[in-house]
Amino acid sequence: MKMSGMWQKFRRFMPKGLKDFPNYGEGPERYDLLRKNFVLIVCATAVIPLLLMAAINYYQYQSALKEEIVKPLRRLITNTQHTLELFLSERESTLRLLIRERSFEELSNQARLNFIFQSLKAEFPEFVDLGLIDSSGLQRSYAGPYELKGKNYRDQDWFQEVQLRGVYVSNVFLGYRKFPHFVIAIKRDAVEGDFYVLRATIDTEKFNQLISTITLRPGSDMFLIDQEGVLQTPSRAHGRVLDKISLLVPPMSQEAVITRTKDEHGEHLLGYAYLRGANFILVLTKEPGEVMAGWFTLKSELLLVLVVSVAVIFIVSLRATNLLVDRIREADQKRESCYIEVEHTAKLASLGRLAAGVAHEINNPLAIINEKAGLLKDLVEFSKEYHDQEKLLSQVDSILRSVNRCREITHRLLGFAKRMDLKVETIHLNELLQEVLGFLEKEAFHRDIKVNFNLAPDLAPIAHDRGQLQQVFLNIINNAFEAVQDGGNITIATKANETDPSTVEVAISDDGRGIHPDDLKHIFDPFYTRGKEQGTGLGLSISYGIVAKCGGDIRVESKVGRGSTFTVVLPQKCQMA
């Protein structure tokens, strides 16, 4: 269907985004395009900010969670570092106290040194032996399980280092003892530039115990290495003591550091700290899966919430769009129907004006026919020359009756069509209803429809517009004719309103098909029709508007299959006047 000229004018005032749709108002593809665009716009408007918020939250939570992971690891490494440093510091302080409180002569006395060593070992079981070395590197006395008295250390590196620094802590080594241990040596200066060194061997098992007391998950590992990358304590993943690890030795740092590293075992989180006063590095490794388990859970939940939110947005936008597009389609259909009905109404109006014009033009020849027939009748009556005078007069009377019949029809048609402006006059409803029925009496005759009148004889006249009331009752009676089948019954009754004496009632009943309750709700809506054929849908709407404007009302009672009753309540004086 092509768009009407009115629709083309209306389209110029539409928003650009709507009127630019291809074939706007033509075909179902427009609604599909509307639906797609609306869903796209709504989803983009809602989903894009949601995605941005999810991305921002993702990175914020990731950073925050990593920070929450790094802090405990750094704290764990720092605490363990302090524990090990305290262990070394306590042993070193003990040796310093011994070398300061005991003279060279006392320490060089084998019996006295044995007593001191036994007392020391009672407090610190990890001490393996204790020896006194003079400035020439000769071990003057020794308390321990081995025969080391008289051994000379002058050419060993550690002896040179203790001379320079005053204290020496060795790396873990096996030596001829064949078990992991390390050495602490303390130097004390004597008179005339001489010195002597107190040297103790310490079992590394205490280191292992200190580290093993720290609760670690299966994916974690903590151990000590030296600056060459050699294990000083056992490792779960990197081997036994004195094995070289595959990890690169971390760079020097004054505090605990957490970083990422990769080796043949995979990617790890690596934490480390250098122990002060010793050549030891505390190392902690954790698998990312263990460390990031909470983050993976949060990420999964965040992704689930995002997916569910997007799905809900899509479903809601799709349903809302379908509802909106369906309403637009219904509005378009009603609009197109309105345009058709307006054009049809305009045609009816033109036809009414044409009928009024024809009726007016017919009146002139009817008047001439009436005058000529009257003249002919007078001539025949006063003349005695016609042999069939009675027959001729009867034919003339028939012509005059037909002329009067035509005059009544044209007068009713003119009275119904020409009253466009409100003109209040005194009206007898009973006569008006019989006059209106005259328009439909031929249809009633041909369809064998019986019209029953139950008119109140003492009904008071009302003040109203005759043409408008004709239109109201003609619409209602015409609908009754459409509702009944051939041979049906229609009853028209008038009476004064018992509850309100200032009004009168006209009830028009039929025994037709009735009105469905769903249709009854829209019976007075414009362009709503329930007729068997396509109608304008304006009759009852216009009738209701006319009656309501004058202060009246129209009530409807109907049962499907049993008929309907329209009751028109009119004030005795139209309030519009």
Tokens 């909470």 sit on residue: 294
pLDDT of residue 415: 60
- Which strands make up the sheet holding 266-274, listed edge to edge? 220-225, 281-286, 266-274, 257-263
In terms of Cα–Cα distance, which of 339, 326, 331, 327 is closest to 8? 339
DSSP codes joined into one string, 59-116: HHHHHHHHHHHHHHHHHHHHHHHHHHHHHHHHHHHHHHHHHHHS-HHHHH-HHHHHHH
Which residues on neighbouring strands pair with residue 127, listed in sequence order?
202
pTM of the model: 0.47
496's tokens: 């004064």
Residue 517's CB: how many other CB atoms inside 10 A? 10
| Rounded distance between C-alpha atoms, residue 219 and residue 236, angstroms | 9
| Rounded distance between C-alpha atoms, residue 102 and residue 304, angstroms | 73
- Amino acid letter, 207: F
pLDDT of residue 352: 66
171's tokens: 């790396």
Phi, psi dihedral angles at 510 (to 5 degrees): -140, 165
SS3 318: helix
Residue 340's CB: how many other CB atoms inside 10 A? 15
Which residues on neighbouring strands pair with residue 134, listed in sequence order?
196
501's tokens: 């004496």
| Rounded distance between C-alpha atoms, residue 21 and residue 404, angstroms | 62
Residue 130's CB: how many other CB atoms inside 10 A? 23
CA 253 vs CA 321, 525, 551: distances in Å: 63, 88, 98
- Amino acid letter, 163: Q
pLDDT of residue 34: 81
pLDDT of residue 21: 41
| Parallel/antiparallel/unpaired status of strands 450-454 and 489-496 | parallel
pLDDT of residue 18: 43
- For residue 549, the surrounding DSSP H or E stretch is helix 539-549
| Rounded distance between C-alpha atoms, residue 130 and residue 141, angstroms | 8
Instruction: Give the chain's residues under pLDDT 50.
Output: 1-7, 9-25, 420, 532-534, 577
488's tokens: 């049906």
pLDDT of residue 13: 43
pLDDT of residue 161: 92
Question: Which residue segments constitute the domains of the chain, with CATH numbers given?
Answer: 27-291 (3.30.450.20), 421-571 (3.30.565.10)
Contact 304, 240 (CB under 8 A): no
SS3 305: helix
Tokens 């036809």 sit on residue: 351
219's tokens: 């994916």
